[in-house]
A and B are shown apart, each in its own frame.
Chain A
Amino acid sequence: EPEVTQTPSHQVTQMGQEVILRCVPISNHLYFYWYRQILGQKVEFLVSFYNNEISEKSEIFDDQFSVERPDGSNFTLKIRSTKLEDSAMYFCASSGGGSGQPQHFGDGTRLSIL
């Protein structure tokens, strides 16, 4: 069964550094998402991306964050000037359709900021 793959599974970064999290969505999907889950808290929406632009973003997704689809298969989340509170699981998801369609998640990248 097609799946969303994320790399790395665990990323350790010094505070203030930049980090890029990578995702390969399901191949025929057109809509891409990033979520995060701080330990013990809810899964929270960050951003959705379609047709090479952001279609929706949450209040969490400020100027520190950016997303990119650098080629036909990868989807990345860049976090600049990382802070301790950025430590979380980051999940990538994709869907074949837009509004309301089920999203399929990867296994996440655990980001630890030291």
Chain B
Amino acid sequence: QKEVEQDPGPLSVPEGAIVSLNCTYSNSAFQYFMWYRQYSRKGPELLMYTYSSGNKEDGRFTAQVDKSSKYISLFIRDSQPSDSATYLCATVRYTGNQFYFGTGTSLTVIP
């Protein structure tokens, strides 16, 4: 069973749409959750970091964690063409340093 599963997409939405990106994970030992954005030929850029169930909001981005279902989501409101990128979910154990990444979802926001 894969540690983290993520729908690779691709996902294409019109500008202004609400985007929902999702991951599931298999191990209840995972306690910290991250969303990274990766533009072409660039490294992953940290967007959101959370460690508790519930919602965390930062501007147009909301990260949601449901530990009971082992399900994490990223919502992007009022999506912009500049949001076009690959979005990676990642998680790590409470006592670990090894991040486990999803495969990434490719998002295109059409003007």
Contact = CB atoms under 8 A, between A and B. Distances in A.
Indicate whether A and B interact.
yes
Contacts, number: 62
Contact of A99 (B45, B88, B94, B104): B94
Interface in B55-111: 88, 90, 92-104
A43 B97 contact: no
A48 B43 contact: no
Interface string A37-71: 00001111100100000011010000000000000
B24 to A, nearest CB: 14
A2 B99 CA distance: 21
B99 A103 contact: yes
Nearest to A44: B101
Interface residues of B, number: 27
Size class of A's contact patch?
A: 20 to 34
B41 to A, nearest CB: 8
B43 A41 contact: no
Given A4-B43, A6-B43, A43-B90, 6 more contacts: A45-B98, A56-B96, A99-B92, A100-B93, A103-B46, A108-B42
Interface of B: 31-32, 34, 36, 41-46, 49, 51, 88, 90, 92-104
A-B complex: 3 closest residue pairs judged by Cβ atoms: A105-B43, A48-B97, A100-B32
